[in-house]
Amino acid sequence: MTKALVGIIMGSDSDLPVMKESAVVLEEFDIPYDISILSAHRTPDQLVDYVRKAKESFEVLIAGAGGAAHLPGVIAAHTIIPVIGVPIEASPLGALDSLLSIVQMPSGIPVATMAIAQSGAKNAGIYAVQILALNRPKLGDKLREYRKSMAESVMNKDNKLKTLGWKGYLAEK
Ligand code: RP5
C-alpha cells in the first residue's frame, strides 16, 4: 500500500463539502493522502491517538473545522509535523469564530491558517504540495507548470474581454 504523505482531518462530515477541495488538489498532484473525521471535542482520545501515529507516515497535516475550531491547534500541540488550518463557516457567527480560533495560536505552537472555506481548503492542498516539493524537485516542476497554466487562463480571459469590445488598461485613449 502506498504511504500517505498528507493527512486531512475535519471535525465533522458537515465539513466535507469544503475539505474535499484539499483532496482534489492532492489528487491533481498525485500525492497519496488519508482523509478522516475526528473532533477535538467529540473524539479527543481518538484524535490524540491519530496524531501520535501520524509521525509514522505524514509529512503535512491539514485540519479544517468550524465554530470553536480547536482542531488544528490541538493537533499542532501534539506533533511537530506542520499543520495547516482551514476555517469553515458552521455557526450563526459566520466563519469569524472559526478563523479567530485557528489563527490566534499562542507563541510556540504555530498553525498555518488559510482563507475561509473553499479557497482556504484548496490553498491548504497547494501549500501542502509546496512543503513536499522542498525536497522533491519533480513536484516543484509540477507546481511551476500549475502556476504557468493559471496565468495563461487569466490571459485568455483578458483576451476574451478584448474581443467583446472592452478596452484594455493599456489601450490607446
Ligand atoms: C465543528 O463543529 C466541526 O468542524 C463542524 O464545522 C462544526 C459543526 O459540526 P456538526 O454539528 O455539523 O457535526 O466541530
Q: What is the pLDDT of residues 27-62, one digit of tens each?
A: 999 999 999 999 999 999 999 999 999 988 899 999
What's the CA-to-centroid distance between 171 and ligand 1, angstroms?
50
Cα–Cα distances in angstroms (integers) from residue 16 to residues 68, 144, 145, in the given order: 17, 28, 28
Which numeric CATH code is attached to 6-135?
3.40.50.1970
What's the CA-to-centroid distance between 69 and ligand 1, angstroms?
9
66 lines ligand 1 (CB under 6 A): yes
Each domain of the chain, given as residue ranges in start order, spans: 6-135
Q: What pLDDT does residue 131 have?
A: 98
pLDDT tens readout for residues 129-145: 999 999 999 999 999 99
* DSSP tag of 33: E
Give the pLDDT band of residue 173 (cuts 50, 70, 90).
low
The residues, ordered by sequence, that sit 6+ positions from 75 with a Cβ below 8 Å of its Cβ are 9, 40, 47, 51, 61, 63, 83
What's the CA-to-centroid distance between 66 and ligand 1, angstroms?
6
C-alpha cell at 158: 483578458
